[in-house]
Chain A
């Protein structure tokens, strides 16, 4: 079946550090892949997406590349800020409309 696995959290970094949050998936076919972010006290919002192999999604300094050969969609940012503290969810699109989410990774950035 379809599933998404994210690296265990929580992750704590200092401001300006390099960030990687790992995400791997299991799916039939070629699903679209997403990263959603949930800031404290808010719902999820789309951070970036990629719809086919080798596509790179990017937004707000974050990037992720759809790697079919390793079934991965790792999230990266070169220099994190305190305002990036949030919970990050990797997801794939299943069927026409539905999403399958990973378990979420809580990120805390210290000044």
Chain B
């Protein structure tokens, strides 16, 4: 069964802290994604990676960075957390194949920045 896991379901951090959100997939997918989900705004793409060590900015990359050192793992980094980064963060993965391109999502990490 397809699985995407995220390191924490809930996280509370303080303003200015460096925050790491980890995502692991076991499907050997080439593509991995980080989104944030906010009420009334749906999901917005932060960063996208189509291969190891490759990354591409999404629609809202400001204040975030990512790391993909291994195919199965994609990390989202908040260099200096701010209160406006309080949100639900969702990781997803997919094959690069244009036909079998369904994105599979993790359960999400609800981050609160105080």
Contact = CB atoms under 8 A, between A and B. Distances in A.
Interface of A: 4, 32, 36, 41-46, 49, 89, 93, 96-99, 101-104
Given A97-B50, A98-B58, A44 B42 contact: no
Given A102-B42, A103-B41, A104-B42, A43 B90 contact: yes
Interface residues of B, number: 25
Contacts, number: 50
Which 10 pairs between the two chains have the least Cβ-Cβ distance? A43-B105, A101-B42, A103-B42, A101-B43, A44-B105, A43-B107, A46-B102, A43-B106, A104-B42, A102-B42
Interface of B: 4, 31, 33, 40-45, 48, 50, 58, 90, 92, 94, 96, 98, 101-108
Main secondary structure of the interface of B (DSSP, over half): strand
Contacts of A93: 101
